[in-house]
Structure 1
């Protein structure tokens, strides 16, 4: 988050609720903790208020470079297979 004194928008609150949902699904929060924090998110006025509600939770990991490379390789392989299927169907 940026300056903790800045007012939070509805989009900021929705993003924090989505983060809390992911942490609950991962087992880091109980349903009671989730409910309590969501109520606090909806009442939050500043970025600092929102930051305090997730400060004890780990940041979500970004996809690693290896995962991105694997995804690109898979996409290229799918394109090659599709092109081969088209070429084979044309020449039959």
Structure 2
């Protein structure tokens, strides 16, 4: 997060709620803990307030850049295979 004294935006709050959803899905938070923390996020005014809500959770719940790169590579490979299939069918 940025300077803890800066005001948090709605987008900042939404990002933290999404992080809490991922942590809950991973089993790090119970539904009661999730609910309590979401209430705290919605009441947060600064980045410092948001940081306190997720300070005890590991940062790796966010999808990694490697996963995004793998998805892009898979999509490119699928397009190449489709193009090759079209080219082969045209020249047969």
TM-score (norm 1): 0.84
More deviation, 13-22/53-62 = 53-62
Output the CA distance in 1 between the equivalents of 2:34 and 2:75: 37
Distance 1:45 1:70, change over 3 A: closer
> CA offset at residue 91 of structure 1?
1.7
1:3-48 Cα distance to aligned partner (Å, 9 max, x none): 0000011110000000000000000000000000000100000000
TM-score (norm 2): 0.84
Q: How does 1:2-81 map to 2 (within 5 A)?
A: 2-60=2-60, 62-64=64-66, 68=69, 72=73, 74-81=74-81
Output the CA distance in 2 between the equivalents of 1:23 and 1:83: 40
> CA offset at residue 69 of structure 1?
5.8
Any unmatched runs of 5+ in structure 2? none
Output the CA distance in 2 between the equivalents of 1:85 and 1:75: 15
- Bigger CA radius of gyration: 1
Aligned length: 90
